[in-house]
Structure formats: C-alpha cells, structure tokens
Amino acid sequence: MSDELNIEVILKERAKLVEEWKIMDELVLAYKSSTPKVNPIWDISSNSINFNDISKEILDSGMEIYTASYDEVWAGIFEPSIYDKDTLWKNVHDSRKIARAIKAWEEKKALSPLFFVKHGSKDLALVADGKHRLTVARYMGCNNIPFMIQSSASSWLKKAIPSAIKI
C-alpha cells in the first residue's frame, strides 16, 4: 500500500472517530441536563462473558456468573463511594462511557455483568470491568447486580458478598 493511500485511510478513520465522539459528546450534554430514568437490563447468558474487557487468559481459565442484592455488592466491594450515584457525572468517570450505558439501557439493550477480582489484601471485590455500568445501575436504583468472577479464584467471594448466588 502506498504511503498516500495509507494516510488517506488513517485520515478517514480519524474523521469517523471524531464524528462518533461529537455524537457522544452531544449525548453527554443532553443526559447531563436531564438524565433519563432507565431500568438496567443485564445479559446473564454465558455468551455475555465475551463482551467484557477481560484478557483471553482469564477467560480461558473459566468464569462464573453470580448475582446479589445491590446492598450486598455495595458492602463487598473496595471503595464503593467511587461508584455512588452522586459521582455519575463527576470527573472520576468517563462521561462518554456513562452515556453509552444509559443509552443502551434506554434502548432496552442488555449489558454484560461486571467483572470482579479479589482485592490483594482484603476479602473485598475490586471492580475490574464494569465501573460505569455499576455507577449507572447505582444511580438508577438497581436492586440486583450480576457479576462475574474467575472460576479458579472464587474462594474469597462468600466472605466479600455472602448472599451471592451462582447463576
């Protein structure tokens, strides 16, 4: 491929990305001025595991999906205040990701469960993937939260989230 053609492809991709960001930024502004009330919908199928930002090695080792009440999840995660409903539009979160989760649930799309790992020195869960979904779910008053953990590393779960039920 010639350098000219390569540069044209890169410029087209960049223009497309800039347009997508512009659309998301407009959505963020609209949602910030009037955040719609949505009902979080979760995809708890085994296939949903593939739609998270989790390394292939972890996925290959096996995953299990659980659910628990929001209160139990809240009590069992490390530094839950980061995900509190008052932080929805704060700089601690990527506003585009918050808007994307709201938009998906507004369109009745199911999103994959959160991914928890054990905190290094405490019997608490760390949110490894799904921080924005958790924050939006908290804001919307979600009663139950589905989450995934690595099958081989589940011994800490009953201490962190005692009511967790495997799906």
Distance in angstroms (rounded) separating the CA atoms of residues 44 and 74: 19
pTM: 0.85
The parts of the chain modelled with pLDDT lower than 70 are 1-5, 50-51
Gyration radius from the chain CA atoms: 18
pLDDT at position 59: 77
pLDDT at position 151: 85
Residues ≥6 apart with Cβ < 8 Å to 37: 140
Structure tokens at 120: 């290094």
pLDDT tens for residues 78-107? 999 999 999 999 999 999 999 999 999 999
pLDDT at position 6: 84
pLDDT at position 84: 94
pLDDT at position 62: 82
Element (H or E) spanning 126, and its range? Answer: strand 125-129
Distance in angstroms (rounded) separating the CA atoms of residues 122 and 85: 24
Structure tokens at 43: 């995809």
- Asked whether the beta carbons of 59 and 148 are under 8 A apart, the reply is no
Give residue 143's Cα distance to chain centre: 16
